[in-house]
Chains A and B, each alone.
Chain A
Amino acid sequence: MLSMAKKKLEADTKDAARDTALLHSMLLQRRFEERTAEAYALGKIGGFCHLYIGQEAVSTGTLSMLRPDDYVITTYRDHGQAIARGMTPRAVMAELFGRQDGCVRGKGGSMHMFDANTNFLGGHGIVGGHVPLATGVGFAIKYRGGDQCIVCFMGESVVNTGAFHEALNMAALWKLPCVFIIENNRYGMGTSLERASAIHDIYERGAAYNMARQQCDGQDVFAVRAAVGEAVERARKEQHPTLLEIRTYRFMGHSMSDAVSGTYRTKAELEEYMKRDPITLLRQRMEANGTLTEEHLRAMDAEIKAVVQDAWDFADASPELPLEALYEDVYADTTT
């Protein structure tokens, strides 16, 4: 029998360990993407490249509630989620560099991270296109039996697409274990939510399908965990889908080719939102709880920076693809 005091201490340490892991995950994404921007400027990364900076509490909070056998699917803004899901910074950076050791062997780049090992079903480039796929994964889970779930991340612009509505209707109609997560960062490129959607509390879109729905603060990793936890439980136990609107903000431009602020949002607005940096919020909370010291944070940051540097070096050293690779994987080999 443990004494009450010891029990409490154990719970606290456990929380401290958990909070440290959350902070680590978020800081890793942040540092990774800062270097991503640097590599892009140096021409090591090309094409479209959408950073996740500012939204890390959504990926970390959500994915910390999943089991390894659950599934995840997302949009082109996928680096942070890939890393939070446990894909290695090496594999993600090598993909950004378009090299052989990238998670999809240099075929996809920034927008198309996939990893079968972590059930990461891809970053997808067509707005709304992946939402029905999530319903399909939910269908397969139910078909096979079991209590897995699928988390589908999407931007708030997606709620205006037809694919979203078709997918949600089927998920609700057939009671599938899908957790649809809208990362409402207020803008789709240069268009604010208010200029694109007839209703502004977009989680209410779920009402049309009688789907469980909720809105939560996406800068607070614990608020995200609580909301996602409930949704995941509903998916596992009742096989019911949920629509979550997680309110967040992107601190960078839509992609590397866009200005951070400009015609569609003011610098003042951006600065206001940056006051609620999800990493700062968690750090402050941990400091107040006494679970994080300045020294500890510095050590963590140094370790993370080294990991990211290692990912960069690894990506830089990874070979270019041989030309034969061009014709590989167009069709699956069905010979037995």
Chain B
Amino acid sequence: MNAEASAIRAQPLPGDFAIWIFIFAELTVFGVLFAAYAFARSAHLELFNAAQLGLNRVYGYVNTLLLVTSSYFVARASLSIKAGRSTACGHWLVGALGLGGCFLVVKLAEFHQDFAQGITLSANLFDMFYLSLTFFHFMHVVMGMAILAVVARKAYAGRYSAADHTGVETGGSYWHMVDLVWIILFALVYVIH
């Protein structure tokens, strides 16, 4: 590798270092939840397979597309601000927020249908995991949107620049984490059976 390329690679983590402590802590939390799900499933295979059929997988699929795209918009926001275009950055972030909002609406519709079907925390072990995992993630989406909203406002107010845009990367990194976790959750809970 030439010196130039290794210089690119030596960059610090994007955004504030503190958010990365939090991201790694959150990833640990989700990791433990995923492991618990996987092993609970091994111990109650029949039950999981039967109960999993009660889910409408399309909700999960649509929500993955929404969240991945939203994450992409945030990546574009970060590119925009690096090119010094604050307004474009703001627009991308608002787009991401809109998609995040759609995610919440779809998820709420799904919850609504779940409850109508009698899916509850006490119904069975799968339903318990499904509801707690997705609700816990839901709260993270809400939290991530709150952060993105603050960042978007600041972007429109011209508080970031090509030289100084740590805030965008901090909020963005958190949002990508929320996306990353959902990608795994989607595969684990909706797809793999």
The finding on whether chains A and B are genuine partners in a shared complex, rather than unrelated, reads no
Q: Give the interface of B toward A (CB within 8 A).
A: none
